Structure 1
């Protein structure tokens, strides 16, 4: 099965969390201040309220990522918090790797987007993105386990693994 370093606790990197907090804070202030300080026209009020709610949801997502802890070891990958879930390599049932570009030019450069990895086991799925520490090691271990289990990977996942330099079996 996959060979990972001794059990390691992984978290999302600090710069991405701080950036997300800053973005959500700016959005909350930019949409909330006009609501609190003025009486905008009704149609504009709805636009600001919806925008405020979206930035509030983004802020909550940022908090969840900030408190999330994961563990990678030789037996599998585990979300420690929140909502603990373990996917054992011997029981992995699916894997998807997607790339989301932030620019129209879709070259898979980490500065122009991010990868999202979905691992599916018999008890549920874990979704992480490339801002998680040691993402490359998690990706390699997951791909290795998927190969050992003989899982059929979709074309998008195979192409993205190839772009990341991860061999598929």
Structure 2
């Protein structure tokens, strides 16, 4: 199913994430390069290094992902990719994560489930709004019940999803 190219994650977003991951790894691994740190320092630094490493791996995964969409479904090509047919869509979640207290900066995280598969996309993906619109349409067609937060997040993008979980 290779139809309309929906998008990929832009290089400028990925570059910033690579810099964050690299800086985090450098800072958390520096004590190990300088000396053998005391366990009180080593354990938190190692734990933080694992988190920054996972963030870096997630950034690589996003860089390698290409998303395709057509009238039959959505495909994410790349590591941890998969496909979901619109007719098989059984659950949708659209959450907003804020980076500031005033909730003006942040990103949306879209999770789709169906046909035994799960796909996860972030709003930094080029073409995210087009995908979200089609997901809202499929959720409506499939009469899915979504959370109030998911419904409100779709509304913030200008798309209506009627069913609300009780």
* TM over 0.5, shorter chain: yes
Displacement after TM superposition at 1:39 (Å): 3.2
Displacement after TM superposition at 1:41 (Å): 2.7
Q: CA RMSD in A?
A: 1.4
- Give 2:127's match in structure 1, choosing from 124, 134, 140: 134
Matches within 5 A, 1:1-169: 6-8=3-5, 10-106=7-103, 109=104, 112-169=105-162
Displacement after TM superposition at 1:38 (Å): 2.4
* Structure 1 unpaired stretches of 5+: 1-5
TM-score by length of 1: 0.88
CA distance in 1, matches of 2:10, 2:73: 21
Q: How many residues align?
A: 160
Measured against aligned partners, the alpha-carbon deviations of 1:18-54 in whole angstroms (never above 9, x if no partner) come to 1110000001111112211123332012121111111
Give the conservation status (yes or no) of the 8 Å contact 1:69–1:82. Answer: no
Higher relative contact order (CA 8 A, sep 6+): 1
TM-score by length of 2: 0.90
Displacement after TM superposition at 1:84 (Å): 4.1
